[in-house]
Amino acid sequence: MNEQPNTFDPAPLAGDYLGEAATLLAHDDPFPGGAVVPPIYQTSLFTFANYADMADTFAGRRKQPIYSRGDNPTVMEFEARVAALEGAEAARGFSSGMAAISATVLAFVGAGERMVAVRNCYGDAYRLFERLFPRLHIKVDYVDGSDPDAVAAALPGAKLLYLESPTSMMFELQDLEHLTRLAKEQGIVTTIDNSWATPVFQKPISHGVDLVLHSASKYLGGHSDTVAGVVAGSAAHIKHINEQTYSQLGGKLSPFEGWLLLRGLRTLPLRLPHHMKSGLIIAERLKAHGKVERVNHPAYSNHPGKKTLAGYAGLFSFEVTEDVDIPAFVDALKFFRIGVSWGGHESLVVPAKASLEQTPGINSMARFGVSPRTIRFNVGLENVEDLWADIAQAFDKSRAFDKSKK
Ligand SMILES: *Cc1c(COP(=O)(O)O)cnc(C)c1O
């Protein structure tokens, strides 16, 4: 059995997550006609009343949306909400989390330059860095982000530090204040993928991070009906992204999806504490289960990166003992459906064993040694006792198949 500190702290369960975030989301100015929900501006372009308005808008003397690949009022409403929640000056919506990640990183790193990324960052971010970036002559060095000395050693000469705390599949934490201080000393831009914690549980900008990225497809949307992304930061940084990549790469957010995200955001501060509570109940029971060797959940970490987390999301992983037939266990689950993505209402399971066979040669989980006995759960909003009963019966079934299916 692996050594694992048991520092489970129930305090976050008592936190008030409904205060600030809920207020930010509730304070709608009335929209046209007194509507409490903004209209979907389903239009590609916006016309001008006269020549002077067009000329003044083009010259930047006047503000008005011009074309929906740039600005769209429904999308701008979403961007303003995310900026407010993250404590940022500005935000920019994108057609996916990967559009936000690629446009942001490419705005700050160019040919012949180098960046530093945490190991076990999101799989497609890793594939972007490994597939496209060598062709652009951009070098990416990976570090154990939980080790500030390793990050310090890798930083000199880099243009960007790419964080994700906690990381995908392994849920390793990074000390945001320490690492951003190291980067700032050398003028290096810092980004973080904050999809897991959301601004309800972690506000990276207040801890020194420059740019906060989200796959809005996950908790921000929260209903598994949208693929979208967003980046939030200072007005100057967002302006730089707008000028360098956003308009030209063209990965804009659609008005309808912006509208769905606004709807999802209204319940974010209600959903997150529920995911946390159910996730912790299941994590605690898994930890006590004889077929589980370790649980990769930030609640069990002693790392200083924990101090910027006000609570825990419902996504984590665990490693099962050798005698568990993983395909049988996964197939026996009924509430946990087999599928990628996470952050929606529904519980999901991803076995690392299957993910390790994805894109051979460009697989971050294989490269950084994620055990094939790792299983990731997205704990949804269902009744937690139903979820646990499902897990318990699946373990019983996987035991019945012991070794017979290997
Ligand atoms: C899903 C995901 C992304 C990518 O977002 P898309 O909206 O699918 O493009 C980025 N980071 C993390 C941590 C994710 O889970």
d(CA 41, CA 31): 12
What is the model's pLDDT at position 50?
98
Beta carbon of 227 within 6 Å of any ligand 1 atom:
yes
pLDDT of residue 5: 59
When pLDDT is averaged across residues 276-287 and rounded to a whole number, the result is 98
User: What domains does the chain contain, in order, with CATH numbers?
Assistant: 24-266 (3.40.640.10), 268-405 (3.90.1150.10)
pLDDT band at 22 (very low <50, low <70, confident <90, very high): confident
Whether the Cβ atoms of residue 218 and residue 76 lie closer than 8 Å to each other: no
| pLDDT tens digits along 325-382 | 999 999 999 999 999 999 999 999 999 999 999 999 999 999 999 999 999 999 999 9
What does the pLDDT read at residue 30?
77
Residue 406: its pLDDT value, please? Answer: 46
pLDDT above 60: residue 400: no
In 183-309, beta strands by DSSP E: 189-193, 211-215, 229-233, 292-296
With a cut of 50, say whether residue 2 has pLDDT above it.
no
Query: Could you tell me the pLDDT band of residue 133, with boundaries at 50, 70 and 90?
Result: very high
Note the pLDDT tens digit of each residue in 48-91: 999 999 999 999 999 999 999 999 999 999 999 999 999 999 99
pLDDT at 103 over 80: yes
User: Is the CB–ligand 1 distance for residue 194 below 6 Å?
Assistant: no
Q: What is the pLDDT of residue 127?
A: 97
CA-closest residue to ligand 1 atom 12: 122
Say yes or no to pLDDT of 32 above 90: no
Residues 6 or more apart whose Cβ sits within 8 Å of residue 66: 45, 46, 57, 58
Nearest to 277 by CA among 317, 223, 314, 316: 314
d(CA 47, CA 56): 13
Note whether 271 and 203 are within 8 A (CB): no
Nearest-CA residue for atom 4 of ligand 1: 97
Statement: the pTM of the whole predicted model exceeds 0.85: yes
Q: What is the mean pLDDT of residues 292-318?
A: 97
**Per-residue model confidence (pLDDT) at position 4:** 61
The closest alpha carbon to 221, from 164, 265, 255, belongs to 265
Which residue's CA is the nearest one to ligand 1's atom 6? Answer: 97
What is the amino acid identity at position 4?
Answer: Q
Q: Ligand 1 centre from 271 Cα, in Å? A: 19
Sign of CA dihedral 341, 343, 346, 348: positive
Give the whole-angstrom CA distance, residue 345 versus residue 146: 30
Q: The tokens of 137 are what?
A: 């002559």
Q: Give per-residue pLDDT as tens, 378-390.
A: 999 999 999 999 9
Contact 218, 64 (CB under 8 A): no
Position 27 scores a pLDDT of 62
The protein residue with its alpha carbon nearest to ligand 1, atom 7, reads: 97
**Residue 317 identity (one-letter amino acid):** S
Q: Rounded mean pLDDT of 140-165?
A: 98
pLDDT for position 7: 66
Asked whether 74 lines ligand 1 (CB < 6 A), one says no
Q: How far apart are CA 260 and CA 87, in angstroms?
A: 22
Instruction: Give the single-character DSSP code of 185.
Output: H
The mean predicted confidence, pLDDT, of the chain is 94
Q: Is 221 in the pocket of ligand 1 (CB under 6 A)?
A: no
Question: CA-to-CA distance for 87 and 199, rounded, in angstroms?
Answer: 9
Q: Are 154 and 105 in contact (CB under 8 A)?
A: no
State the virtual CA torsion across 341, 246, 141, 203 in degrees, nearest 10: -60
Q: Report the distance separating Cα 94 and Cα 229, nearest Å.
A: 5
User: Exposed, middle or buried: residue 49 (CB in 10 Å: 0-12, 13-18, 19+)?
Assistant: exposed
